[in-house]
Chain A
């Protein structure tokens, strides 16, 4: 006869098995149409490009070499691939600046929202959620119409006599930056707001009682307490910004490429799928490093605030 303990153990095993069966469809779909293909990209990055796209099944490290280096066609010497390095650096720079810009704008916005009365808070949250869920392409297109030479920004500046001819913003790095900061701002505000909402303002009061200035309270009390939200927001902005495709395609006008445009090029006209694959993996690596830094930081602040 089975003891009570054995019966309980069997029930637990059955429960775990059922839970695996229940999650199987979701895991299977994600593996087939998201995670699994990433492994194929890794394999492709070590193959030889085919003449009309795709690959020849022949090992070659060339794609990885070509990520940062260029092989001279005549004497086979390697030199730094200036174009690729420029695009890597531009993508990282634009993503970092976008993250900082959204933080500088988003932090006070989240603070403003969190310090409203309970009732109006919902309304502000709703107002920030709407742009968050509206189509990114449409929002990028809206920015395009504002900043182009005949757009509202230039028209107003011309009418006011501040400038005599339109400023060329569109199809520059600045345009990409404005566009990315615009579309990713809600991604920064929402997690900071979530942390800020839980902020205990008695701590702020205690700070003032001890003669702290407003700035000191902000720096020493508020900021450390909402730091997890700030880090989460920064990650949520940095990752999509680094891989941004729509914004540089629409506002950069094809000349000011970012990493995603360079990758797309390899699968289109470039017909170098291994290089495109290697570049994709490189983007993934940068993202992974950022995520790891986030996990470590989040772990640390989690311990500190108990």
Chain B
């Protein structure tokens, strides 16, 4: 190899990296292949078939859980992104002021605590509120998801804001634009890619959550991941492979979009 004598060469590193990439993708590829398996047992290949996709599509539990996941994910993503945008505006482009460090710590707090602990804490807290108010709807799950999505939505929005200087906003103010008009016509359009990235991140994070949802949900409030966890614990059918494949496609689509949005505007 020509780069044997390059200063960047380290023996064996390329081999390990190649192994890592193969190992990262191999299980996912196998999982997807077996989603198209005609055999009922997941251990042998019985020919190509779409029947597991069909059976997942006709499974009302799967459809219910999927719709619930989307409902929670979309609501939590919108709320967390709005709140994170406001918080990002309040914590960037300023000299340090009393409480700024506290705000950083508070916003990132959900990232510092293991999910199991947050899950247990919310189980205790919400079970009290449930007894007190009698309400047992999706509100609890939406509140919990909004909270842990905020630090993720905050990340790209804050990064974007830090790269924006105040010149244009000052110019707008000099031309007698009201603060609201300046925000709507200058700040918001410039910030938009960051907000979109934050929204997508929050949606993916909410869609992926298992642990906190598992502890917070009331009976009959399965999301797609908690439904799948239940099925996997009970034993596997290729139907789970089919659901996973669709789920994977969706995630990859969102991540790809996210990647291009955040790269294009760098």
Across the interface, do B114 and A239 meet the contact criterion of CB distance under 8 Å?
yes
Given the contacts A26-B87, A146-B30, A182-B23, A277 and B120 also touching, CB distance less than 8 Å: yes
Across the interface, do B8 and A204 meet the contact criterion of CB distance under 8 Å?
yes
User: Which candidate, A29-37, A63-71, A75-83, A157-165, is the interface stretch facing chain B?
Assistant: A29-37
CB-CB contacts below 8 Å: A220-256 with B: 239-240, 242-243, 245-246, 249-250
Across the interface, do A34 and B148 meet the contact criterion of CB distance under 8 Å?
yes
Across the interface, do B252 and A108 meet the contact criterion of CB distance under 8 Å?
no
CB distance from B137 to the nearest CB of A (A): 15
Q: Which residues of A contact B254 (CB under 8 A)?
A: 133
Across the interface, do B87 and A23 meet the contact criterion of CB distance under 8 Å?
yes
Indicate with 1 or 0, residue by residue over A163-183, a CB within 8 angstroms of chain B CB atoms: 000000000000000000010
B2 located at the interface, meaning its Cβ lies under 8 Å from any Cβ of chain A in the complex: no
Across the interface, do B255 and A243 meet the contact criterion of CB distance under 8 Å?
no
Across the interface, do A105 and B120 meet the contact criterion of CB distance under 8 Å?
no
How many A-B contacts if CB must be within 8 Å?
Answer: 260
Question: Which one, B83, B97, B114, B259, contacts A29 given CB within 8 A?
Answer: B83
Given the contacts A126-B259, A249-B229, A287 and B8 also touching, CB distance less than 8 Å: no
CB distance from B263 to the nearest CB of A (A): 7
CB-CB contacts below 8 Å: B243-262 with A: 244, 247-248, 251-252, 254-256, 258-259
CB distance from B149 to the nearest CB of A (A): 10
Residue of A nearest to B79 (CB): A29
Across the interface, do B87 and A142 meet the contact criterion of CB distance under 8 Å?
no
Q: Is the interface of B mostly helix, strand, loop or mixed?
A: helix
Docked Cα-Cα span, A189 to B16, in Å, equals 13
B86 located at the interface, meaning its Cβ lies under 8 Å from any Cβ of chain A in the complex: yes
Docked Cα-Cα span, A277 to B99, in Å, equals 30
Interface centre among A22, A30, A249, A267 (most CB of B within 10 A): A30
CB-CB contacts below 8 Å: B5-22 with A: 7-14, 16-17, 19-21
B28 located at the interface, meaning its Cβ lies under 8 Å from any Cβ of chain A in the complex: yes
CB-CB contacts below 8 Å: B106-125 with A: 106-107, 109-110, 112-125
Question: Which one, B24, B116, B119, contacts A185 given CB within 8 A?
Answer: B24
Given the contacts A26-B84, A144-B232, A33 and B244 also touching, CB distance less than 8 Å: no
Given the contacts A29-B150, A185-B20, A243-B117, A250 and B30 also touching, CB distance less than 8 Å: no
Question: Which one, B13, B79, B87, B91, contacts A108 given CB within 8 A?
Answer: B13
Residue of B nearest to A28 (CB): B83
Q: Which residues of A contact B16 (CB under 8 A)?
A: 105, 108-109, 112
Q: Which residues of B contact A133 (CB under 8 A)?
A: 204, 208, 251, 254-255, 258
CB distance from A284 to the nearest CB of B (A): 6
Interface centre among A138, A152, A218, A239 (most CB of B within 10 A): A138
Known: A30-B109, A38-B117, A137-B210. 8 other contacts (CB 8 A): A22-B89, A26-B84, A29-B147, A131-B25, A135-B225, A135-B251, A137-B232, A205-B7
